[in-house]
Chains A and B, each alone.
Chain A
Amino acid sequence: MLSGVLSFRSTRFACLLVAALSIAACARNPEETASLANASAATPGSQQDFVVNVGDRVWFQVDSAELTQQSIATLEKQAQWLRAYPQYSFTVEGHADERGTREYNIALGARRAQAVRDYLASRGVQAHRMRTISYGKERPVAVCNDISCWSQNRRSVTVLNASS
């Protein structure tokens, strides 16, 4: 993963990666912090297992829907897990940060969700289990006026349906 860091030229992205690696510190939601601390306690095959031990989200660069090396590593783990637990159907949510206009961000979020969906499909996850939705900039997870928040909001989240 560190070699991945070195290959990114953009300082912006380095910030993003730092934010991603230290998400517990950035999380504004105390529950989120707590769940990350209890990582190993999750039952294998549970939703918590997926969120905590696999990672339910990947992050994107500004105005981009390209999967980074880090994203691909996470999605590889997601695909393995989703193949192992075929009872789950799920939604891939695409999101954008607040630094774009509304309509464009809706389309950009959709593009990001599609990139994740296509990758999971290419790794053997059945298409009928997946749906995508874009929230544009409507559902940020981190709220502040700098890159530390925006980089967390440019994301795609794989959301398992309650009990499939």
Chain B
Amino acid sequence: MSEQNSPPPPLLNRRRLLALGAATAGTLAGLSPRLVGAQTKLTVTEGTIRPVPIALPDFVTGSGVPDPGLGRNITQIIASNLRRSGLFTPIDQKAYVEQITDINRQPRFNDWKSIGADALVTGRLDRQGNGNVAAQFRLWDVVGGGHLHAQQTSTSPDNYRRLAHIISDQIYQRLTGEMGYFDTRIVFIDESGARNQRTKRLAIMDQDGANVRYLTRGDDLVLTPRFSPSTQEITYMSYGQGQPRVFLLNIETGQREVVGNFPGMTFAPRFSHDGQRVILSLQQGGNSNIFVMDLRSRTTTKLTDTAAIDTAPSYSPDGGRICFESDRGGRQQIYVMGGNGGPANRISFGEGSYSTPVWSPRGDYIAFTKQGGGRFAIGIMKPDGSGERILTDGFHNEGPTWAPNGRVLMFFRDPGGNAGPQLFTVDVTGRNEQRIPTPSFGSDPAWSPLLR
């Protein structure tokens, strides 16, 4: 995979920025400074997001490209990524007036304006000498009549979906000011069979549900896989060899090892943001405490010491703090302590119980599962416990995981009974919820960092 970036041209014109501001600034706290500056005159109205209308004609496919349908495939993957984000509305290709044949010539902006497009993406695929496919694309500001961005990326032809995801990330980033999250993968638990004898397999797929691959065969019960933020490793719990334990798995080499030499069941693992430590729970008798293991020195440190169930720990991005759940005060609630343990402060005070806290990779929110009144909700709050917001609520929603840009969450929803769980995403406004397809039932999703 190689990339060449053009120098950053100016952002979209003010009118477009205003619309994007409405899409993000109205409800999000950590907006990029450029957008905040640009939308000072905007009166943000409560209510609906106005997605940006964007035109995506099929990429021009050069004659050397083995599959003449590749241009169309790539365009469709980009369109579906952008649509799923909730911030863009791809315009139906049937409405297009101008046919793009040369991406280096300026498009007829009036033709694209007339169909309501605010932005236009054009692209071209060519075969390179080494057999790879190179994609060039250009992003145009239709309303302002200007060129915003150009990039070239190349890959082997069977890896074309990644080209589409990388281009999607560039478009998303250029138009929203936020990092993209499309060139990422999800590790999750594939579930099959009746509820009372489920087979659970570790599986991995692209963030849009494509390219599913199984990492275990289903002989052993496996739970709660989590991605390393910096390496191609996951950590998960397996009932493999008698005692249930936390394992590390390198997804490229297939190498597997037990994490630490703990005198009891270990569970609820998660990496630190630098990928150098695994934090987890150790069960001893009726008592669960939080430990951390340094993966380089192999030393383990006990971080909590109570008679309560302390579990589901998650580091802040700088490693300076840890959020976790504990029933030390009665029901499960979220607490925050220092990165080396010590005193913990309860931060969840709403009605009901709170569990599975996960610190956003941006540090601005902690996502959680909230239980009350026979319902399970997914929500977010600031690390001091303020600003709680429920994003989705129902019979059973559980286990949020953050996209690397900290603006989208994935979780699982289980209708109960003999049916099974499925994966969904929701953005931090709670307005845009999407189901992510899986071959069978799916649970315990964990989002990878950006692949690059």
Chain A residues packing against B (C-beta within 8 Å):
28, 63, 65, 98-104, 106-108, 110-111, 114-115, 133-136, 138-145
Q: A114 CA to B414 CA in the complex, in Å? A: 29
Q: A135 CA to B196 CA in the complex, in Å? A: 12
Q: A133 CA to B267 CA in the complex, in Å? A: 12
Chain B residues packing against A (C-beta within 8 Å):
194-198, 200, 221, 223-224, 237, 243-244, 265, 267-268, 281, 283, 285-288, 309, 311-312, 325, 327, 331-332, 355-356, 369, 371, 374, 376, 395-396, 398-399, 414, 416-418, 444
- Given A103-B224, A111-B287, A143-B194, 12 additional A-B pairs, CB 8 A: A63-B327, A99-B371, A102-B224, A103-B268, A103-B311, A104-B325, A106-B311, A111-B309, A134-B265, A143-B418, A144-B416, A145-B395
Q: Could you tell me if A143 and B195 are in contact, using CB atoms closer than 8 angstroms?
A: yes
Q: Could you tell me if B198 and A102 are in contact, using CB atoms closer than 8 angstroms?
A: no
Q: Could you tell me if B288 and A110 are in contact, using CB atoms closer than 8 angstroms?
A: yes
Other-chain contact of A103, B195, B244, B287, B312 (Cβ < 8 Å)? B312
Q: Could you tell me if B398 and A101 are in contact, using CB atoms closer than 8 angstroms?
A: yes
**Which B residue's beta carbon lies closest to that of A108?**
B309
26 contacts between A and B (CB under 8 A): A63-B327, A63-B331, A65-B286, A99-B374, A103-B224, A103-B312, A103-B325, A104-B309, A104-B312, A106-B237, A106-B267, A106-B283, A110-B265, A110-B288, A111-B286, A111-B287, A111-B309, A114-B285, A114-B286, A133-B244, A134-B244, A134-B265, A135-B221, A138-B200, A143-B196, A143-B418
A30 to B: closest C-beta gap in Å: 14
B223 to A: closest C-beta gap in Å: 6
Q: Could you tell me if B286 and A115 are in contact, using CB atoms closer than 8 angstroms?
A: yes
**Which A residue's beta carbon lies closest to that of B395?**
A145
Q: A104 CA to B355 CA in the complex, in Å? A: 8
Q: Could you tell me if B355 and A103 are in contact, using CB atoms closer than 8 angstroms?
A: yes
- CB neighbours (8 Å) of A103 from chain B are 224, 267-268, 281, 311-312, 325, 355-356
Q: A140 CA to B265 CA in the complex, in Å? A: 20
B359 to A: closest C-beta gap in Å: 15
